[in-house]
Structure 1
Amino acid sequence: MVYCKGIEEMEKKTMAISKAMRAALHALSYTANIDVGKTYKVERAVRGLRTPLAPLYHLWDHKIERDGRDIRVRIYTPKKQTDGRLLLFFHGGGWVLESVDTYNAVCRNLARRTGCRVASVEYGLAPEHVFPEGLEDCYAAAREVYRHPEQFGVRSHEITLIGDSAGGNLAAAVSLMARDRGEFEVAQQILIYPATHYDHTPDSRFDSVRENGADYLLTAKRVNDYMALYAGGDERRMRNPYFAPLCAPDLSHQPRTLVITAEFDPLRDEGEAYARALRDAGGDVQQYRMADALHGYFSLPMRFPMVRRTYDLIEQFLNGETIACQTTSATEKT
């Protein structure tokens, strides 16, 4: 398997996490172990307080109907649109938190840096909408865009699915579902530290769950809580390939893919395993591990080098370029 690491990250040893920072992360991670099922409403409200709209882009909400319910899609058009393509974005938040509103800054930056329009989907959150409801919302939005690309001024092959964390999971699942249902074809997808597997217990096959599952803000317990809420308490749903794409028995005929993982992320190894599985199935896949990064770093301000590097990778991928890579090995139980 080929993992990509930029020269910038490898050379800047000063960017490594210090002992003091590790101690602070450990303390913050302790509070992250509070039961999400009891606190998600408060967390949603708090996150909603930090979402002011800036007049940098033309925003409008396009509604897509599914089963009598409207799915909101917000379109971000950069002032200087230099690219005619469209990025269809699914936000993170463990299928439970976050929204189109809380991801305004991310989508504005994505539009500005790529020159593309970005369409951000407001899917139903768990536990009010358990699997597969949120996924079906994303699929319905994608089907509308891919079947009627002229509404968005693009052609179907100029659309790229993109998502981070739970959004990366949803993007991967939409691609699988599109192949299986045969209603549209996804040409490209970008998965940023995606959740692809269901097991984040100490017995997980992935070393990153044990190495990074306690002291790096996103804890393995919190991932388990999110997944339990998304599954509605039904563990059988967790083994569904649309819930955990790495469980899919067949990963052939998937889109050209970029997977970006974070070094200190419990989800790191499963994201890299998904990239490897796609490649083994004949896919065109590039995979990059962001050094010294924690899960969720993509939502940080643009002044952070790892965030700027991520946008560079996205632009290179969209332009059909091959990302400079170095070879290393993955770690997981067999």
Structure 2
Amino acid sequence: MDYTHLGRSGLSVSRLCLGTMNFGPETSEEDSHEIMDRALELGINFFDTANVYGWVPGEGVTEQIIGRWFARGGERREKTVIATKLYGSMSQWPNDTFLSARNIRLACDASLKRLQTDYIDLYQMHHVDRSTPWDEIWEAFEVLRQQGKVLYFGSSNHAGWHIAQSMETARRRGQTGLVSEQSIYNLLKREVELEVLPACQGYGLGVIPWSPLNGGLLGGIIRKTEKGQRRLTGRAKDALKTHRKALRAYEDFCDEIGELPAHVGLAWLLHQEGVTGPIIGPRTLEQLDGSIRATEIRLKKDELARVDEIFPGPGGPAPEAYAW
């Protein structure tokens, strides 16, 4: 496994990040523990979760599963860079949501308790809170850092402008600011190349792509549906209809180079400047083991150009993408 620094920080993380959103709703606790053990064996030391994962209000099901895994010892906690998030509603009461100083304090303490740890490596804002001043957010974050409860801070689903606002406020306050941004980014969703990626590169934030295979569409969906291995409904079915021509060309290209579409989709992200590592969300050990292949694929310049022809992005960073 290759490692890289998380943004401009000195923290070393694996080029693949283990996403845990399936732990609880889709994957049993026993299987989740096996997947995390296997991830460490493979050298994956970067795990991502959130207080709302598990989707039972106020329970933090997924964090609890990870906490019981940490409690098993064997240096599991010491080897793991754990990232979690706050913002989503944890109850029906108005102050158990968003990024007020109150919610930051209480949400952090609750996550620490569920994770059975005394510190969080990377604490992330799950979404932008337009109603809370950045000064209030950063003051609350700085208290957490002074208390030793959080080492680094990150954002998620923030626009380039929000990243700039956050970083400039932190700088004015003499604080370190953000070290990462977690955004949806894949071959079908490349809008972040306009503003978010340039902002992250300018401020030294590592980019952590979520949904790197766009809900499975980039994982060989056409072959799978034709073989009856997968059935799609709703938005996924509509998306396949919209992108069928490009997806078929992509799967043909992957056949030409002798690689699976899912592995190529992850590998493409690893070739993008500023990307720390995509979040993989395996439901099984087999899916986890297969993802490792992506770190070994080295796409040539002509192959990268071919992928760009199939899935053209927005044209590069703004404003050149749309103006002279």
TM-score range, shorter chain: 0.3 to 0.5
Structure of higher CA gyration radius: 2
Structure number with higher strand proportion:
1
TM-score norm. by structure 1 comes to 0.35
